[in-house]
């Protein structure tokens, strides 16, 4: 897993590559879903499933909002609740 600064993680996210930033990381899960998490697996920010990106559409702290902006794949996403995103990731 590559160690990258949060400001440089977007290229990893867009390519669905594993990375570890500062309290932010992305990984390819055993079920083939790529997910980006903030402060642990309890708070997913994004998930790539097939050809679709899903986004946690809930309100975050200022720090997590910054991470969200840094990691956003800059493509269309479907906004869902945190609970829905966890359910999608756990398929």
How many Cβ atoms sit within 10 Å of the Cβ of residue 81? Answer: 11
Please state, in angstroms and rounded to a whole number, the distance separating the CA atoms of residues 38 and 65: 10
How many Cβ atoms sit within 10 Å of the Cβ of residue 65? Answer: 12
Give the pLDDT score at 1: 85
Going by C-alpha positions, the residue among 1, 71, 16, 82 that lies closest to residue 44 is 82
Give the pLDDT score at 52: 97
The pTM is what?
0.93
Give the pLDDT score at 67: 92
Instruction: Give the mean model confidence (pLDDT) for residues 1-8.
Output: 94
């Amino acid at each position: 897993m590559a160690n990258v600064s949060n400001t440089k993680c977007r290229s990893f996210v867009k390519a669905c590559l594993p990375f570890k930033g500062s309290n932010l990381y992305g990984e390819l899960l055993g079920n083939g879903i790529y997910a980006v998490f903030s402060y642990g697996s309890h708070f997913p920010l994004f998930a790539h499933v097939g050809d679709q990106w899903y986004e946690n559409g809930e309100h975050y702290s200022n720090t997590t909002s910054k991470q969200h902006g840094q990691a956003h794949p800059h493509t269309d996403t479907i906004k869902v609740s945190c609970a829905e995103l966890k359910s999608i990731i756990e398929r």
